Structure 1
Amino acid sequence: MAVSPPVCDFGAPWNDFELPGTDGRIYRLADVTGPRGTLVMFICNHCPYVQSIIDRIVRDAREMQAAGIGVVAISANDVAEYPQDGPEQMKTEAARHGFTFPYLYDETQAVARAYGAECTPDFFGYNADGELQYRGRFDASARTPGPAEARRELLEAMLQIAETGKGPENQVPSMGCSIKWKTA
């Protein structure tokens, strides 16, 4: 079932975290922030919405990083129910696609809850002051990739945030698989 998160809550603060990465390191928010902005994205390995754009995510992350924007990906799915989203599989996924950003595992799901993440992919674009400026989609892709010439909405928004500190007023919400929450 496709889930679409709410529109951007402009100015909402980011949330610190301390999570293990696929490289064996522990990361805090300060380790991944960029001098001109930061993208925190919630993804997972099995979601067809993520898989349809993962190579585009990696491409655009490189451009963002070159522009001084920090990038981090977090997976928070319940691995008891979705073992393909576990840490070892995350490590394989990051290597297969050449991630240039940390891929972190939110085992307790506390970070996903703090951010209000609802689906994979779910993008949170912050300015240099840690204020939310983008909560939209990557591009026009869905369960299948959009056209090759699709507007690069996330990249455009993050570059605008890096330049001006403000995200675009009009944003199309992301769409994806619901986060697989643990049952109590």
Structure 2
Amino acid sequence: MVSLQTPVCDFGKPAVDFSLPGTDGKVWTLEDCRGKKGLLVMFICNHCPYVKAVLDRLVRDTRELHELGVNSVAIMSNDPHQYEEDSFENMQKIAREKDFPFPYLLDATQEVAKAYGAVCTPDFFGYNADLQLQYRGRLAVPGAPGRQPQGGRTEDARRDLFEAMKHVAETGKGPEVQIPSMGCSIKWLGE
């Protein structure tokens, strides 16, 4: 497992269009996913301990963001030949088990991850209503995978992503200070 941090937010950069198959059997585009007040594009996978450690909070936060007019979409771009746990069938299984409130899409060619500049899982891209990038940071105060976050219990962790996207929904702008997300490197084809 190679741990990486995301680059700083490139404020105003437009969201990249895509057309990807979802675990629900539908093909999703950027326009299908967008919310009235914004869109959260998340690069995640099934096997990454960083993703596993935050998945329940991610489901909670995306449900609450939806109520604020911010939709979410998760994209899996890893090479599933390197990690069977990231297969499309396992994507479908985890989406059902966790009752994902967002589409979970397969980026089999990895073109979408490259177009967004995604580097790790999880990697978050928060857009305003005009689909301009306003957030590229962490979900919450981190702890090591499987451990409690700094400051105590998981449910008490500061919700950086949620608070940032709530601010985006209300103002159209993300916070000036953002702390990078950290996670496992994307498993690129042929590596």
Shorter-normalised TM range: over 0.9
Matched, 1:115 2:116: yes
Per the alignment, residue 143 of structure 1 pairs with 145
Task: State, as a whole percentage, how many aligned pairs show the same letter.
Answer: 58
* CA–CA distance in structure 2, aligned partners of residues 177 and 40 of structure 1: 17
2:72 is the counterpart of 1:71: yes
Show the counterpart of 1:5: 6
Instruction: Give the equivalent residue in structure 2 for 1:161.
Output: 168
Which amino acid is the alignment partner of residue 145 of structure 2?
A: R
Cross-structure match for 1:179 = 186
Matches within 5 A, 1:15-164: 15-141=16-142, 142-144=144-146, 145-146=148-149, 147=153, 148-164=155-171
Cα deviation per residue 1:26-83 (whole Å; 9 max; x = unaligned)? 0000000000000000000000000000000000000001111110000000011112
Q: Matched residues in 2 for 1:163 and 1:37: separation?
A: 10
Q: TM-score, normalised by structure 2?
A: 0.94
Give the Cα separation in 1 of the matches to 2:3 and 2:114.
19
Cα RMSD (Å) = 0.9
SS at match of 2:165: helix
Cα distance in 2 for partners of 1:116, 1:27 equals 20
Distance 1:68 1:10 in 2: 20
Aligned length: 184
SS across alignment from 2:108: coil
For structure 1, the residue ranges without an aligned partner over 5 or more in a row are none
5+ unaligned residues in a row in structure 2: which ranges?
A: none
- For the residue of structure 1 that corresponds to 2:73, the secondary structure is strand
Deviations 1:108-159, CA, capped at 9 Å, x for gaps: 0000000000000000000001110000000013413423211110000000
What code does the residue aligned with 2:63 have?
R
- In the superposition, the TM-score normalised over structure 1's length comes to 0.98
Cα distance in structure 2, aligned partners of 1:22 and 1:154: 24
Q: Offset of 1:5 from its aligned partner?
A: 1.1
Query: 2:177 is matched by which residue type in structure 1?
Result: N
Distance 1:2 1:143 in 2: 11
Quote how far apart the aligned CAs of 1:103 are. 0.2
SS of residue paired to 1:52: helix
Q: Distance in 2 between matches of 1:95 and 1:139?
A: 24
